[in-house]
Amino acid sequence: MNSRTDQIEAGSGKHFAAYVSLPERPNGHAVVVLQEIFGVTPHIRGIADRFAEDGYLALAPDLFWRIEPGISLTHSKDDIGRAFDLMRQYDESQGVEDAASTIAHIRRLPEFGGKVAVAGMCLGGKLAYLAAARGVGAASVAYYGVGIENSLQEADGIRGPLMLNFGERDRYVPPAARAKIAVALEGKFQVESYTYESADHGFYTRGDPETIALARKRTNAFLNQALCACVAARPAP
């Protein structure tokens, strides 16, 4: 599997980096992989590689480029503190804009002509939800998105397919938050939600292999249906 770093245009002459994982057997589509609060770490690059193994062109943009470009933190006590400090400074709307800029970059690539989904973990999971609510990307997949329950006023904007994945033991997305999300999204267009028994926060990057395999299988089934040409857009209200 080959990889590279692309520079994404952000307007006003500014650019930010994105890790690119190239599929050996392309399926014609792409996924924008949105990071956790630790940056574009080896774990996040591994997620991009996983999507590439499944046939997707995968790009993981550096979402913290305005604050501390190129940062990649561990799960040490000090780094966790730094990660939460970065999160306090972060503007989620700019993150959605960066996802849109990354999609625009993908669509300009001469070898690409398919559809682009957005997938994210933790911080990126909430951004994937916001991308769905704001019409960014053809489909969205959120893994343990933290804070989605605080942005449910945007749920009426969802037009395309959205998949949510939660860990049963995730203290950052506790049962009360998951229940609130479920009520708000009930009956929404093509929203799928899964909760993984015994899974904790971060399970898709560093959890139990069997849980990862199940979430990966469900993700591929969801994206295969969501990105196929037969999926019709929801009519405007």
User: Quick check: 195 and 224 in contact, CB under 8 A?
Assistant: no
CA 55/CA 120 separation, integer angstroms? 18
How far is Cα 130 from Cα 135, in angstroms, rounded to an integer? Answer: 8
Which one is catalytic: 49, 54, 62, 170?
170
Environment class of 110 (CB within 10 Å of its CB; exposed 0-12, middle 13-18, buried 19+) = exposed
Q: Which of 29, 43, 105, 201 is catalytic?
A: 201
Q: How far apart are the C-alpha atoms of 29 and 40, rounded to whole Å?
A: 21
CA distances from 41 to 60, 138, 145, 161, 215 (A): 10, 25, 18, 27, 20
Q: Compute the distance between CA of residue 211 and CA of residue 199 in angstroms, rounded to an integer.
A: 7
Active site residue 201: yes
| Two structure tokens written together for 225 | 């249906």
Annotated catalytic residues are: 170, 201
